[in-house]
Amino acid sequence: MSLPVLYLNYHEVRAEPSPYLYSLPAEEFDAQVRTLLAPPPDSHTQLGITFDDGHRTQFEHAFPVLERHGVPAIFFVTAGFTETGPDYMSWSQLRELAAAGHQVQAHGWVHRFMTHCDDAALDEELRRPKETIEDHLGRPVDALSFPGGRYDARVLEACRRVGYQRVFTSVPWPAAWEEQELQVFGRYGIQSRHTSANLVHLMRTGGRPSALQRMAYAAKMTLRRTIGDERYHRLWCVLSHGEPGDEQNAGGR
């Protein structure tokens, strides 16, 4: 019987270390992929790889590693940023990823937090990337990862209405469940501090959170409710060495 899948969530993969909290050196990414392919005998889960944002470093540094080891991944791209500047992948690069067997799915249109959107903006954030990616790549788009991990019942219903079947969050537990006729997947966010040893621990524990992790998450949610979502996001940008205008998904959660 195959093991359940716990998805990892990567952002930038660079040749050299970066001060950005969600950037990983290519050498460490290679080591983590090799670890994923050699799970310990007492594993309770297998690990899957996803990327958010469509950052060019994913094509330049992560894609060669994935091809070298024959590991598939899901690339969630912010379609409205594609081919808009040097930081994002081009459509030709995304077509190359898809042709190699990787999934290219949606991460919103311009990375607005979906819980902050009115009905018209929410429809654009969901429908426009799906249609645009399908038009450019000629492949179905049925999965979405939420920018900033923000979603609620209204957002889930809109996802179902637009035609998504799978949605991916920024919280790693539980690993998967069903809600409003959608498959919902948790993801473990990979930060620059994470190593192969962390992946081995995840496989052995099945991704189950420790009491300390649960307490830390509860504290973050309490802080977000206390100071408000916008102020919380600005604080996260400072702590992660990002800028308030950066369209990054990793944190803010």
Q: What is the pLDDT of residues 181-233, one digit of tens each?
A: 999 999 999 999 999 999 999 999 998 877 887 787 777 778 777 877 777 67
pLDDT of residue 212: 80
Judge whether 144 and 105 are in contact, CB under 8 Å: yes
Q: How far is it, in rounded angstroms, from Cα 18 to Cα 12?
A: 9
What is the rounded average pLDDT of the residues 57-81?
98
Which residue's entry shows tokens 């310990």? 40
Q: For residue 26, is pLDDT > 50?
A: yes
Judge whether 29 and 13 are in contact, CB under 8 Å: yes
Sign of CA dihedral 232, 129, 183, 97: negative
- What tokens were used for 24? 């990983």
Give residue 99's Cα distance to chain centre.
21
pTM, whole model, 2 decimals?
0.90
**Buried b or exposed e, range 26-62, using 16+ CB within 10 angstroms:** bebbbbbbebbeebeeeebbebbbbbbbbbbbbbebb
pLDDT of residue 7: 97
Domains annotated for the chain, with CATH where assigned, are 5-208 (3.20.20.370)
Average pLDDT, the chain: 90
Q: What is the pLDDT of residues 154-181, one digit of tens each?
A: 999 999 999 999 999 998 888 899 999 9
